[in-house]
């Protein structure tokens, strides 16, 4: 794979595994996260194909620095993956202003900053792919305690779709992809605001390797949208057909 790929949130979980799988296919990867030690460890395992850049995806200046570093290091960017984000486990009745500000900053602003940083480079070439990692929770209320997270991810979906429409007349060579994972066996639950259920303990949690394989596939063969597992795709399809029935099933499990 002759591509240069920037990945935010790459010190662990989906981001780290994505960097490994892409590098194994020959891609050059630019890894970004706030935690230097963990980021350097991932990059060291990959080798010369990897460039580690410490940056906070929720800070515009950091994201612009990441873009410049990728261009300085490899001369171009072919794919930008907005993967950084954070969950929350909190009843809707208990959500605070600070909770909502955090969800918007961590899961929407981080995506917007990535888009705006790389878009001039992509437009100059009429080439590139933006991959925004969303969530199955943006399409169905599968985990009411993570409602605020799912709601902001819904906004990411619409931002992505609108960007596709905006670019189509003038820059048809730029692809915008939304990836929707279900429950993936990472530290996502442990790192969520309010803590909550550990993802790895949830029955049916998808191995991170399998979820990432689906992301690699849409980088190799771009399309507007992809689910990481048949289960989450089928569950969302069921919700679209009969929302009341699925909501009743979910509610019964909350008792």
CATH code (residue 55): 3.40.50.720
**Across residues 241-246, what is the average pLDDT?**
94
Query: Do 30 and 4 contact (CB within 8 A), yes or no?
Result: yes
Q: Which residue has the tokens 């997270």?
A: 149
Instruction: Check whether 58 has a pLDDT greater than 80.
Output: yes
Give me the phi and psi of 102, to 5 degrees please: -65, -45
Q: Which residues are catalytic?
A: 149
Long-range CB contact pairs, 201-205, < 8 A, 24+ = 204/231
As a whole number, mean pLDDT of residues 52-59 equals 97
pLDDT at residue 100 in the model: 97
Shortest CA distance to 5 belongs to which of 62, 65, 80? Answer: 80
Of 110, 127, 111, 177, which is closest to residue 3 (Cα–Cα)? Answer: 127
pLDDT digits (tens, 9 = 90+) for 4-48: 999 999 999 999 999 999 999 999 999 999 999 999 999 999 999
Q: What is the pLDDT of residue 209?
A: 93
Pairing of strands 225-227, 50-54: unpaired
Give the pLDDT band of residue 84 (cuts 50, 70, 90).
very high
Task: Give me the domain span that covers residue 228.
Answer: 4-253
- Residue 55: pLDDT over 80: yes
What is the pLDDT averaged over residues 124-148? 95
The Cα–Cα gap between 255 and 248 comes to 11
Tokens describing residue 53: 């850049």
Domain count, the chain: 1
Encode pLDDT of 169-218 as tens digits: 999 999 999 999 988 866 666 777 776 666 655 656 788 898 999 999 99
d(CA 194, CA 95): 10
């Amino acid at each position: 794979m002759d591509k240069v790929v920037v990945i935010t949130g790459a010190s662990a979980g989906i981001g780290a595994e994505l960097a490994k799988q892409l590098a194994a296919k020959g891609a050059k990867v630019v890894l970004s996260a706030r935690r230097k030690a963990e980021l350097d460890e991932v990059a060291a395992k990959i080798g010369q194909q990897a460039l580690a850049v410490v940056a906070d995806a929720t800070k515009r200046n950091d994201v612009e620095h990441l873009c410049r570093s990728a261009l300085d290091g490899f001369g171009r960017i072919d794919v930008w993956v907005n993967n950084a984000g954070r969950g929350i486990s909190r009843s809707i009745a208990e959500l605070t202003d600070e909770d909502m500000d955090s969800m918007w900053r961590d899961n929407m602003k981080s995506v917007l900053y990535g888009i705006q940083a790389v878009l001039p480079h992509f437009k100059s070439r009429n080439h590139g792919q933006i991959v925004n990692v969303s969530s199955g929770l943006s399409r169905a209320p599968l985990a009411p305690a993570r409602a605020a997270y799912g709601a902001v991810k819904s906004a990411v979906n619409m931002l992505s779709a609108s960007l596709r429409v905006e670019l189509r007349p003038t820059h048809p060579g730029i692809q915008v992809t939304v990836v929707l994972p279900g429950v993936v066996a990472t530290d996502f639950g442990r790192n969520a605001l309010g803590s909550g259920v550990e993802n790895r303990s949830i029955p049916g949690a998808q191995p991170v390797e399998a979820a990432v394989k689906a992301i690699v596939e849409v980088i190799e063969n771009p399309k507007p949208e992809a689910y990481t597992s048949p289960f989450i795709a089928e569950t969302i399809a069921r919700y679209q057909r009969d929302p009341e029935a699925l909501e009743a099933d979910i509610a019964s499990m909350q008792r």
